[in-house]
């Protein structure tokens, strides 16, 4: 993303104000808001462009091997934009490794995919470690004594659900009635 000279002046004033807070003139506030809107719009446009590029990449990959040159070009462009190659990309490149450009791209994609998997595993193991550290801490339990021991407890007016008897399985699930077999054929004939 490139900024114009005016946008850089606005950005410099906003950063200076962030470091040394002071009341800003209304024009500086409007300029900063306008720059913020422009940056947000540029980011949204970049996201739309990236989505279009990835959709195009999928279309080219699905029409391989006829679209080899287009697919390799789009894949290189996507990789330059930070795209992590997926299993579909690796499979397509493996099928095309007879082409020298596809073989080079396959090696590059393998390295990128491996880094991506290692990074995801590191995040998962770090999250698991922090969750287990949190779970390993003991819970605080109330100890007998204190105010609760000094004050008499009021009697509950309603029955406590934990004091009800547990029903037997035969009370919850009554036995099934066996179906009555049909009468023999000679009894069915009315005569």
For 122-139, how does the pLDDT look when each residue is reduced to its tens digit (9 = 90+)? 888 887 777 666 666 656
30 and 51 Cβ atoms separated by less than 8 Å: no
Does 91 score more than 70 pLDDT? yes
Task: For residue 71, give the nearest of 40, 23, 105 by alpha carbon.
Answer: 105
Specify the pLDDT at position 44.
92
Looking at residue 189, its pLDDT comes to 56
Structure tokens at 175: 């036995």
Q: Where are the domains of the chain?
A: 1-62, 71-127
């Amino acid at each position: 993303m490139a900024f114009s000279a005016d946008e850089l002046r606005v950005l410099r004033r906003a950063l200076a104000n962030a470091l040394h807070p002071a009341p800003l003139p209304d024009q500086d506030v409007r300029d900063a808001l306008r720059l913020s809107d422009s940056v947000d719009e540029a980011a949204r446009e970049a996201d739309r462009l990236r989505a279009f590029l990835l959709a195009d990449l999928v279309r080219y990959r699905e029409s391989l091997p006829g679209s080899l040159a287009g697919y390799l070009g789009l894949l290189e462009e996507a990789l330059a934009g930070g795209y992590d190659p997926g299993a579909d990309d690796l499979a397509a490149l493996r099928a095309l490794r007879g082409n020298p450009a596809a073989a080079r791209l396959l090696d590059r994609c393998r390295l990128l995919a491996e880094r991506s998997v290692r990074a995801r595993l590191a995040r998962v193991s770090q999250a698991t470690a922090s969750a287990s550290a949190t779970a390993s801490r003991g819970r605080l339990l109330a100890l007998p004594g204190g105010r609760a021991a000094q004050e008499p407890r009021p009697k509950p007016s309603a029955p406590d659900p934990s004091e009800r008897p547990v029903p037997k399985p035969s009370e919850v699930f009554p036995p099934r009635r066996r179906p009555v077999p049909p009468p023999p054929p000679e009894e069915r004939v009315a005569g």
